[in-house]
A = this chain, B = another copy of it.
Amino acid sequence: MRTTEMMNSYPAEINLDRELLARVVDTLVACSQACTACADACLSEDMVDQLRTCIRTNLDCADICDTTARVLSRHTGYDANLTRTLLTACAQACKSCGDECARHADMHEHCRICAEACRTCEEACNELLAAIG
């Protein structure tokens, strides 16, 4: 990831701490990838019928983290209200998905890793929310 380099090359002011922002973007992107991969790994498990909710929550979380990473990668015409409500939704998605994956963490290594990615991402969203105020 060249997120910090790209953030530092943005030619105008950014109203938020660039290091924090870059770290949150990286965390979102990593969470999205983990969720996409976990959905597919669940799909290949023998007990796929017990992983329906997990797959669905993974798909939602992947989409929302991807979109949030994109919005946070843009600084032109910054809209604090939109950023705040989207981060709130994203923290919620990460919480739901982290809770669901944690239920299967003992059985499935991919759910254990994905739950970690979701927890880390939920915290990162909340940290940025606190910084935005």
Count of this chain's copies in the oligomeric assembly: 4
Contact B92 A40 (CB under 8 A): no
Contact A11 B117 (CB under 8 A): no
Instruction: Tell me, rounded to whole Å, the shortest Cβ–Cβ distance linking A58 to chain B.
Output: 10
Closest to A79 in B: B96
Contacts of A11 in B (CB 8 A): 41, 44-45, 108, 110
A92–B34 CA distance with the chains assembled, in angstroms: 26
Given that A82-B89, A113-B9 are contacting pairs, would A63 and B70 also be in contact in the complex, using a CB cutoff of 8 Å? yes
Given that A66-B67, A67-B66, A67-B67 are contacting pairs, would A114 and B82 also be in contact in the complex, using a CB cutoff of 8 Å? no
Contact B110 A6 (CB under 8 A): yes
